[in-house]
Amino acid sequence: MDMTITANDQTGIRERQLAWITVGTPTIGTLIALGLAWYEGIGALEIGLLCGMYLLTALGVEVGLHRFFSHRAFKAGPGVTAFFAIAGSMAAQGPILFWAATHRQHHSFTDKEGDPHSPCLEGNGFIARLKGWWHAHVGWLFTVKRKNWSQFVPDLFSDRTIVKLNQYYFLWVLLGLLIPTAIGAAIDQSYHGALAGLLWGGFVRIFLVDNATWCVNSMAHRFGRRPNTTRDNSRNLFWLAIPTVGGGWHNNHHAYPALAYTGLKPWQIDIGGRFIDLLGIFGLVWDIRKPEKKSPENTLDGTPDIIETAAPEGISHLDPPAARLKAAIALAVMLIPLAGFLEAIRLLLSGQLGSIDLTLFLVFYAIQMFGVSMGFHRYLAHRAFKTSRTFRALLLIAGSMAAQGPILFWVTTHRRHHRYSDHPGDPHSPNLLGQTRWQRLKGLWYAHMPWMLAPDMTSWSVYAKDVLRDRSLFFFNQTYLLWVLAGVAIPAAIGGWVTESWAGAWSGFICGGLARMFLANQFAWAVGSICHRYGSQPFDNNDHSTNNWTVATLTFGEGLQNNHHAFPAWYRHGVHWYEPDLSGWVLTLLGKMGVVWDLRSPSRAAIEKARQKTN
């Protein structure tokens, strides 16, 4: 008898051993946890770590490994890619390339020979169906009937970032055990807390996440409803949708595999889809593949045309949950600084503010306004000058402190405003609701703040292709919230340090943070409302843009809107030297110092031609 073990046999043995570890270790850990709970009970620490780590890992699997890596249902930068790779790997379901290749193989041969985990290939008798269910749930991990990964994921193999993250798979699994262990030890300050974290946030969490995921393979191809016509036995299981954060709507997914969402009806709970919406609003993901407002009729092969909701002018209409989420964030941006402003008035009237508070207000007001005016607007949106990476970073951080939105949101919204200024498509024109007194008042109010509540998003790929090509800008886009928090934390720290009191920290937080943010944003939003209604119009721009010196003074030149719309790429907004354009004056000085260069400006002939057109 030939006892030679080939390389393929050795590989198969190693993979089966790994499968035993993957299935067995969390199972044993769960049994130990249950045994200890029987004698000692279970408390808030165990439940909290289990729920928190479960949600993190489930989102990593369903949104990361499934929708992002396997189906490329949206795009993301390196930071978010790493987050999904690490969070998904913590489930111990296999490295990224294995997971995605196996899943794509499943879609290529769904419920047919070649499907790695179909429950429908063992026959229709009771024992055969039971064997099929067991194979689809965990048995397939031991059969080692896997095809060449590169055949199914050549796009992932060509991405060096993904390949590198794939190589550290076992480190991410270990990290998923160490994090809850460390948190448990820190909270309980004992070895018992560390053990509770390891067992409940580690092994029990892996056991539950994995079995929920495997139920999609086994249960959701046997039981449930089939609202869509597909050439397989995929089903929707409503009770499975919650523990799999949306994966249970499996028939929907097989009907529309390229979509970023599995819940296609308002009542179909899709936590993963809502998480994608949240990331999209903050600019962390983009090009999200969405269904039409009314889902198209399905074809027999389950591959209907997927049409994004972006209109020709680059406007994507959000579905109701995403629109509500966007509105909630916008309301927070409006109302939280308002609360801080009211608190500043209370402190002022009660005599609790001092010179340090006024100084913090003025300094951080200037930082924010220069960041928005010079950084977000003139540099990023209009490319009116060039500068070093260091100075660019300072400008973009300062602009982010305004809490007016991540850079991609800001740039795309502003460029869309220029393309459709005071015409349908302009996101914040005060002149589109009619000409009666009441309609004009409504338009002015809408252009000031409520436009941020509109249930639409501006397409990045239409309005910000140049920004998308610059990968270094993603850092500032992805860390937007960090800079917003820094914008209120730094003045609080300075106030507390100077006064050596918590009261000083509080007044610094209020005056240099929230009150500053409120007033600066009100003046900035007045550019979109007041400066398209009241002021002078030296140039005919085919819109209602005006020069308003009051707003211009408060916004460092942004209120010279008519000048700016006549020459949008000009680094200055003041055509004449005496027009209040502090940002333009500072840029001129910085140009002489060599901090910025290639400052764009129109020729005198172009300015005269624009004047003659107006006359």
Output the six-digit token pair for 461.
């790929």
Mean pLDDT of 62-89: 93
Give the pLDDT confidence of 146-155 residue by residue, as tens digits.
Answer: 556 667 888 8
Measured at the CA of 186, the angle between CA 183 and CA 192, to 5 degrees, comes to 90
- How many Å apart are CA 535 and CA 299, to the nearest integer? 57
- How many Å apart are CA 375 and CA 411, to the nearest integer? 11
**Backbone torsions φ then ψ of 249, nearest 5 degrees:** -85, 65
Q: pLDDT band for position 300 (50/70/90)?
A: very low
Output the six-digit token pair for 25.
């270790």
Q: How many CB atoms lie within 10 A of CB 72?
A: 15
- How many Å apart are CA 261 and CA 63, to the nearest integer? 9
Amino acid at 267: W
- Best-predicted range by mean pLDDT (33-47, 522-536, 596-610): 522-536
Query: Which pLDDT value is given to residue 267?
Result: 83
Whole-angstrom Cα Rg for the chain: 29
Q: What is the DSSP letter of 261?
A: -
Q: pLDDT band for position 113 (50/70/90)?
A: confident
The beta-carbon contacts of 9-12 under 8 Å, at least 24 apart in sequence, are 11/144, 12/144
Query: Which pLDDT value is given to residue 175?
Result: 95
Output the six-digit token pair for 373.
């005016």
Write out the DSSP string of 40-67. H---HHHHHHHHHHHHHHHHIIIIIIII
Q: Where are the beta strands (DSSP E) in 207-314?
A: 285-286
pLDDT at 312 over 60: no
Query: Which pLDDT value is given to residue 272?
Result: 93
Which string of b and e fits 81-111 if b means at least 16 CB within 10 Å? bbbbbbbbbbbbbbbbbbbbbbbbbbbeebb
Mean pLDDT of 528-549: 94
Looking at every residue in the chain, the average pLDDT score rounds to 88
Output the six-digit token pair for 325.
């989420």
The beta-carbon contacts of 104-113 under 8 Å, at least 24 apart in sequence, are 104/70, 104/152, 104/153, 105/146, 105/147, 105/152, 106/217, 107/254, 107/257, 108/152, 110/230, 110/231, 110/232, 110/234, 110/254, 111/221, 111/232, 111/233, 111/234, 112/232
Q: pLDDT band for position 12 (50/70/90)?
A: low
Output the six-digit token pair for 507.
């007044």
Q: pLDDT band for position 1 (50/70/90)?
A: very low
Smallest CA-to-CA distance from 262 within 279, 285, 237, 284 is with 237
Output the six-digit token pair for 398.
């300062």
Measured at the CA of 432, the angle between CA 427 and CA 434, to 5 degrees, comes to 155
Query: Which pLDDT value is given to residue 295?
Result: 39
- How many Å apart are CA 264 and CA 256, to the nearest integer? 10
> Integer distance in angstroms from the first to the last C-alpha of the chain?
102
Smallest CA-to-CA distance from 445 within 528, 372, 520, 514 is with 528
Find out whether 253 and 262 touch, Cβ atoms under 8 Å: yes
pLDDT at 9 over 70: no
Output the six-digit token pair for 241.
């949708």
Give the pLDDT confidence of 237-258 residue by residue, as tens digits.
Answer: 989 999 999 999 999 999 899 8
Query: Which pLDDT value is given to residue 11?
Result: 46
- How many Å apart are CA 488 and CA 507, to the nearest integer? 11
Q: Name the percent of the chain lying above pLDDT 70.
A: 93
Output the six-digit token pair for 124.
């229709």
- How many Å apart are CA 216 and CA 35, to the nearest integer? 28
Mean pLDDT of 569-583: 94
pLDDT-wise least confident of 176-180, 429-433, 467-471, 575-579: 467-471
Q: What is the pTM of this model?
A: 0.67
The beta-carbon contacts of 161-169 under 8 Å, at least 24 apart in sequence, are 161/78, 161/81, 161/82, 162/69, 162/81, 162/85, 162/96, 162/97, 163/97, 165/81, 165/82, 165/85, 165/86, 165/89, 165/96, 166/85, 166/95, 166/96, 166/97, 169/89, 169/94, 169/95, 169/96
- How many Å apart are CA 540 and CA 546, to the nearest integer? 10
Output the six-digit token pair for 9.
């046999």
Query: Which pLDDT value is given to residue 147?
Result: 52
Q: pLDDT band for position 615 (50/70/90)?
A: low
- How many Å apart are CA 167 and CA 452, to the nearest integer? 43
C-alpha 3: how far from chain center:
55
pLDDT-wise least confident of 117-126, 345-354, 598-607: 117-126
The DSSP H or E segment spanning 523 is helix 516-529
Q: What is the DSSP letter of 305?
A: P
Mean pLDDT of 491-495: 97
pLDDT at 301 over 50: no
Which residues, 6+ apart, have CB-to-CB distance to 61 below 8 Å? Answer: 87, 88, 91, 93, 209, 213, 247
